[in-house]
Amino acid sequence: RLAEIDTVLFDKTGTLTTGTPHVAASNMPATGRDVARALAARSNHPASLAIRHYLGSGSLAELDDIREWPGCGIAALWQGRRVRLGRPDWVAEIAGQAATATEGVCFAIEGQTLANFALGESLRTGAHEALEALRSAGLDTELLSGDGAVAVRRVARELEIGHAAAGQSPAAKIDRIRALQAGGAHVLMVGDGLNDAPSLAAADVSMAPASACDAGRLAADFVFTRDSLRSVPFAHDIALRAKRLVRQNFGLAIAYNCIAVPLAMAGLVTPLVAAIAMSASSIVVVANSLRLTGGGFDGKAGTSTQPVAEARSSAFEPAAEATA
pLDDT in tens, 39-86: 988 888 878 888 988 888 888 888 999 998 887 899 999 988 899 998
Cα–Cα distance for residue pair 291/322, rounded to 1 Å: 20
- Of 11, 192, 196, 237, catalytic: 11
pTM of the model: 0.63
Give the dihedral of Cα atoms 240, 245, 251, 254; nearest 10 deg.
-120
Minimal CA–CA distance to 285: which of 260, 312, 248?
A: 248
Minimal CA–CA distance to 116: which of 92, 82, 93?
A: 92
Minimal CA–CA distance to 317: which of 246, 235, 212, 241?
A: 246
Q: Report the percentage of the chain scoring pLDDT > 70.
A: 89
User: What pLDDT is attached to residue 316?
Assistant: 36
User: What pLDDT is attached to residue 320?
Assistant: 35
Cα–Cα distance for residue pair 116/179, rounded to 1 Å: 34
Minimal CA–CA distance to 115: which of 34, 13, 20?
A: 34
Average pLDDT over residues 274-287: 88
Phi, psi of 300 (to 5 degrees): -70, -20
> Is 295's pLDDT higher than 70?
no
Element holding 262 (H helix, E strand) = helix 231-265
> Annotated catalytic, 147?
no
> Is 123's pLDDT higher than 80?
yes
